[in-house]
Structure 1
């Protein structure tokens, strides 16, 4: 078949390695689950260029809220429009990777000026407000639920205690 090729995509380059189900694709605001590997250019013992892994989720999917800016900007850019189940390479220039002036990285995994490559597989896409979104993080959800119940309990109690003691005896004029 045709060889996959790099396509410019909002400041990064993307290459689809394995097609997915494009009836669901990731956009800003979605919560997505991905498996990923981050690699940087390196050299092997013989001096040949190769990619060296510096980051990765292993088999456990990594949860990302798109648009929150919690991950490398180029990685987020590269996931916009990615289909469910799609595996793609994202080539990220330094200013959208670890030289991004808008982000303060505690310890950079790569040298300054490094273009990085992320291989990202989109394992799950959850749209805001959908059922799976609410139950996604079950303990967080239940925790919030209990807070709400306790809050309303307090409000009801206060209203009851401080409510009017006497009922109005005015008769409606007919």
Structure 2
């Protein structure tokens, strides 16, 4: 299965799009399929910083955040095999 990418907001002008190796700074909210939240950078008021495409995050992020514009907002639906897999991340993300 693949990551489902929904663009919620895209700026009128998009200069550079995100590529592998770029350092991204972003806010995120993670929910399970039933809508139960499991993590959010917003509640900590601290954006998350990582290098795209280098394995620092789950595969679904490395794939689903490629080609983003600065200021764009996306909704990613990530299948388990591109997220936390069969083992999950207990206690918040079941396997």
Fold match (TM-score > 0.5)? yes
Matched residue, 1:130: none
Q: Which structure has the higher relative contact order (CA within 8 Å, separation 6+)? A: 2
Q: RMSD value over aligned CA atoms?
A: 2.0
In proportion to residue count, which structure has more strand? Answer: 1
Matched residue, 1:111: 94
User: 1:51-84 CA deviation, whole Å, 9 max, x = no partner?
Assistant: 1110111132110101221111101211000111
Residues 13-92 of structure 1 aligned to structure 2 (within 5 Å) = 13-20=4-11, 21-42=13-34, 51-58=35-42, 59-92=45-78
Larger radius of gyration: 1
Contact 2:21 2:52 in 1 (8 A): yes
Per the normalisation by structure 2, the TM-score is: 0.84
Q: How many residues align?
A: 91
In proportion to residue count, which structure has more helix? Answer: 1
Moved over 2 A (4+): none
Unaligned runs of 5+ in 2: none
